[in-house]
Amino acid sequence: MEICIITPTLFPEPGGPSAFVDNFVNSLIKDGHRVTVIAISESPDLSFKAENYLLVKISRKQLRIFRVLKTIFSIIQLGRKSDLIFSCGLFLESAISKLIIRKPLIIRIGGDPVWEKWTNQEGMKADLDEFYKNRYSPKIEFKKYLQKVSCKLADRVITPCYFFKSLIEKWKIKTEKIEVVYNGINVENMNLPPKEKLKRDLFLQGKKVILTIGRLIEFKRIDEIIKSFSEIKTDHLYLYLYIIGEGFKKDELIALCKKLDILDRVNFLGIKNHNEVLQYLKAADLFVLNSIDEVMPNVVLESLAVGTPVIAPNGGGIPEIIQDQVDGLLFPLKRGNKDELKETIEKLLWDDELKQVFIKNGFVKINQFNWKKTYKRIMSVINYNL
């Protein structure tokens, strides 16, 4: 089988979508399938053989209209030779190409890029459900419309959780066209040193470390984590907050740390490669997430896999991973939730016995999110549509 994969991001760029594409491509090649990847990249436009597949890079830096046209042209040119188009983003370009070359199209939508873009760029306060119930500027409504139409044109839409399935069903996509396939991770590839060795290697020995990972953007709500951290009552001056990620809110977050007089205990680590992220994740004492409407965050799965207890909001697709009080702690998903977040952190931070219960149960839970199971389910969807 020959598959043309469309992606807006490419490994080793950070984030779940790039990790998914990397796992998917490697599994397809291992199974003997031929693969072409069309990706938006920071590097110049370039086509070459990469790990036994053809990779076409389209520069993110050019004007959007030229980028869109070049993407459509590439999908048409390379998709003609393929049995199927598998789109992990750039849904409009993929849908237009499908109409022209009449190839089966499967869209995997792991989040809502329209909502995310306007939340970050315009500071919108609506959650996903509100975003589609309410009306906004003509530009936003047009983008919402194009995304809905693009997904309706697909032969199948794959979503990583039931929370997001319930949302896109409101786009008037037939229920039978939507398949839920949970994200999966390659636990077998996580050959990390013991926790204490990692603490020594990363200069975390003797520190109690709370870790958060994500782009420094609006809907990740890292400012609330910082505020909560600043109010944790403790005489333990070895308590630190580590933040992995970059984004346009970084200067604002640093200024907040200075204002709260905790900059000496908050470390902004910037972007780390995937292996470094896993090392910090395993070395940390707690992993904290505070995003609005996360669909199926890979970092929560990875935290369970490396044995670091998780604290996360009770919303989006997270309750489909974490069972409160069993393999992690959930707190209310709402704006201005620093008090609830602080109380939840304090409940777990010093309770080593409870942490061990969560770690043990997390190792059991992660078996439900094994990459081999995810790949098998995706291939069953693909084979059904050929």
pLDDT of residue 191: 85
Parallel/antiparallel/unpaired status of strands 53-59 and 46-50: antiparallel
Short-list 150, 281, 160, CA closest to 209: 281
Average pLDDT value for residue range 50-58: 82
Average pLDDT value for residue range 83-102: 95
Give burial (CB, 10 Å; 0-12/13-18/19+) of 78: buried
Tokens 């974490």 sit at which residue? Answer: 322
Q: Residues near 92 by Cβ (< 8 Å), separated by ≥ 6?
A: 68, 146, 147, 150
pLDDT at 48 over 50: no
CB burial of 161-183 (b: ≥16 within 10 Å; e: otherwise) equals: bebbbebbeebebeeeebbbbbb
Average pLDDT value for residue range 114-136: 77
Using a pLDDT cut of 70, give the percent of the chain over it.
94
Domains of the chain plus CATH, in order, are 2-184+370-384 (3.40.50.2000), 188-368 (3.40.50.2000)
pLDDT of residue 241: 96
Least confident of 118-122, 129-133, 371-375: 118-122
Can you give the pTM of this predicted structure?
0.90
User: Which one has a higher pLDDT value, 37 or 337?
Assistant: 37
3-state secondary structure at position 385: coil
Grade residue 197 by pLDDT with cuts at 50, 70 and 90: very high
pLDDT of residue 237: 65
User: Which one has a higher pLDDT value, 11 or 69?
Assistant: 69
Parallel/antiparallel/unpaired status of strands 34-41 and 2-7: parallel
pLDDT at 45 over 50: no
Average pLDDT value for residue range 131-156: 90
pLDDT of residue 326: 96
Grade residue 332 by pLDDT with cuts at 50, 70 and 90: confident
pLDDT of residue 50: 59
Q: How far apart are CA 71 and CA 8, in angstroms?
A: 10
Q: How far apart are CA 336 and CA 317, in angstroms?
A: 20
Average pLDDT value for residue range 175-186: 93
pLDDT of residue 386: 67
pLDDT of residue 43: 58
Least confident of 112-126, 269-283, 343-357: 112-126
Give burial (CB, 10 Å; 0-12/13-18/19+) of 93: buried
pLDDT at 177 over 90: yes
Within 10 angstroms of residue 385's Cβ, the number of other Cβ atoms is 13
